Every structure is written in structure tokens, then in C-alpha cells.
Chains A and B, each alone.
Chain A
């Protein structure tokens, strides 16, 4: 028998579900809940997609010119202090 689970509990565990940090029983209960609850499914899918987007290297880029500004600063420091 797959034991029921409330939407509230699902929201509490959705992050762990996506990290596979839950027991098999809890996973089965949540999976069954998602079948009948499109709102929780929307939360699950949305969260999964957020993780996918932020995890994409294209999402957060170094500001343009970061490297150049960095090494300019380093050069200035070297010419000032004369090295290590």
C-alpha cells in the first residue's frame, strides 16, 4: 500500500527528492502524489528546471573585461611593490 502524503509535506521534501536524499518509501509516496496533483508537479518541475538553469555554465558569466582588469591591478601592484 502506498501511503498518502500531503502537499505541505511534498513541498518540504521536494528539494531532497531532487537530490535523491530521501527514503525509497518517501519517494514512492511522493511519486504517487505527483501523479494526481498537478500543482505539486509544477513545483517539482519548476525547481528541477531552476537547478538546470543555474547549473549551466552559460548562466553566470564573468563580467566583461574581468581578466584584464584583474591583471592590470596585479601589474600596478607589482610595479609598486617590486614583486613578492
Chain B
């Protein structure tokens, strides 16, 4: 069954619940479904969870030579793995390479998995490390990356660039490639440390505490980075905030308050 009860990449709350019911033989925690969508199917209980019995079964099958079982094991985690590498490596192709390498590494080292965390947690950790290694290698060759064009006031606080009144962007607009590309671009424009917290907290819906644990930083560091990440994303998405995402109008009236 694996991370998301055998679903293709995107787990819905509904399906996760259905999947959980199917695993009723195993002892279950009662958890509330995430307010948004938990695409990797992880529970809100976070990093302390144990490996699921069905994951363990699949792992054992892989180790005895039934390699097809690995595909079933990993498929529900693919999205989380890709999100983890993309959080660190802006370039989609690099992120895919790192994700693939991480999954292959997990395959090679599957026997070393101790079952003291969920399989997806272990896999995502490998992916994060893989992406970080790749990033360090890149940095040796390139000059300082990442535009950090946020303005700071005298006290080092992020000052919003724009005060346009948001018109609610309906989630149907996400079907437009343009909006998705802009979201990706906006995410890529953040520095890695800001991108990481945004992906963990707002994309993957981990709590602030879980995010802090995963990144090995304090809660207040997470909060400070989240502030800048979110405000920067908002400024990056500003063109279109006056409604042109839904109406398709191209001109945009930037607003200054004073």
C-alpha cells in the first residue's frame, strides 16, 4: 500500500481516509485530516511516526528480489520527493535529477532502513540531502545565485512592495499554465532558506514545529523566514492581483498607499 494507500502521487484527504480504513489491521493514531491537501499522505503526527506495516511488507518483498514492489512503495511519495528537491534546486531539471538520484539511492540502501520513521520521511530526507549536495556543487562553479529583491526597512523588516487589493483568485485558475508557471517562478525567486520553509509549511502543510525539526532550526527562525517568504511571494504575484488572473486583462495598476 505504501505512503498514500496506493494512489497516484496526489493523495486527497478523502482517499487517505479510505486508505487508512483499509489498513485497519494495523494500530492507528486518530489524526485530524490536514486543512489543505497532504500530498504525501503523511499524518499530522509528523516525524515520530513508525513505518506502516504494509510499507514494511513491500520493503521486504523488494529485498527478496521482487523489484516491482519498489515502484508501489515509492509512487505515492514521488510528489513529496520532487517538492523537497525543488525547494532547494530552483531548476526543474536539476530537481528531477536529484529526486531520481535520491530514489535510486534509497533503492540501493533499502536494507539500511530501520523502520524508526515513516518510509516517506526517510526518503524525503535522502532527497533533501541529495539536493543540498547538488546545490553545494553548483555553488562552487557559479556566482551567488538568487535574487533577493525584498526591501528592508531600518529595522531589517520586509517592507511590502505593493498594496494592491487582492481579488480572490479561484483555485480553478490553477488550471491555467500561466498561473502555475508564475507560482513556480515566484517560488524559485526566493532564496533557498526561505523557499524551504514555505514548501514545508505552506505547500506540504507541516506545522511550524515539524518544519523546525526537519530543518534543524528554531521555531522563531522558521517564523521569521516564513514572514519574508510569504510576503515576497505575495509581491511576486502582485501583477494580476487586481483581478487580471481571472479576467485575463494584461494591464495592471500598481498601487502605492502614500
* A contacting B, Cβ–Cβ less than 8 Å: yes
Of the candidates A47, A62, A83, the one whose C-beta lies within 8 Å of that of B234 is: A47
| Interface core residue of B174, B231, B234 (most chain A CB under 10 Å) | B234
A43 CB to nearest B CB, Å? 5
A13 CB to nearest B CB, Å? 8
| CB-defined contacts of B69 to chain A, threshold 8 Å | none
* 1/0 contact string of B167-181 vs chain A (CB within 8 Å): 011010011000110
* 1/0 contact string of A39-68 vs chain B (CB within 8 Å): 101110111011111111111111100110
Tell me the B1-54 residues at the A interface (CB within 8 Å). Answer: 9-10, 12, 36-37, 39
Contact B75 A51 (CB under 8 A): no
* 1/0 contact string of A2-40 vs chain B (CB within 8 Å): 000000100110111011010000000000000000110
Contact B223 A12 (CB under 8 A): no
| CB-defined contacts of A12 to chain B, threshold 8 Å | 157, 227
A5 CB to nearest B CB, Å? 14
Q: Does B208 touch A at the CB level, under 8 Å?
A: yes
**Contact of A60 with B37 at beta-carbon distance under 8 Å, contacts A15-B231, A49-B169 already known:** no
In the bound complex, CA of A45 to CA of B162 (Å): 13
**Contact of A15 with B230 at beta-carbon distance under 8 Å, contacts A42-B165, A71-B71 already known:** yes
In the bound complex, CA of A71 to CA of B82 (Å): 15
Q: Mostly helix, strand, loop or mixed at chain A's interface?
A: helix
Contact B100 A58 (CB under 8 A): no
In the bound complex, CA of A80 to CA of B79 (Å): 27
Q: Which B-chain residue is minimally distant from A76 (CB atoms)?
A: B104
In the bound complex, CA of A49 to CA of B45 (Å): 26
Of the candidates A45, A46, A83, the one whose C-beta lies within 8 Å of that of B65 is: A83
In the bound complex, CA of A68 to CA of B39 (Å): 19
Q: Which A-chain residue is minimally distant from B39 (CB atoms)?
A: A57
Contact A47 B230 (CB under 8 A): yes
Contact B174 A74 (CB under 8 A): no
**Contact of A58 with B158 at beta-carbon distance under 8 Å, contacts A14-B227, A42-B165, A46-B241 already known:** no
| CB-defined contacts of A1 to chain B, threshold 8 Å | none
| CB-defined contacts of B62 to chain A, threshold 8 Å | 84
Contact A8 B37 (CB under 8 A): no
B44 CB to nearest A CB, Å? 14
In the bound complex, CA of A52 to CA of B164 (Å): 18
Contact B169 A53 (CB under 8 A): yes
Q: Does B108 touch A at the CB level, under 8 Å?
A: yes
Contact B157 A54 (CB under 8 A): no
In the bound complex, CA of A49 to CA of B71 (Å): 36
A19 CB to nearest B CB, Å? 6
* Additional 7 contacts, C-beta under 8 A, given A21-B223, A70-B99: A14-B227, A18-B230, A46-B241, A50-B234, A54-B198, A57-B36, A77-B104
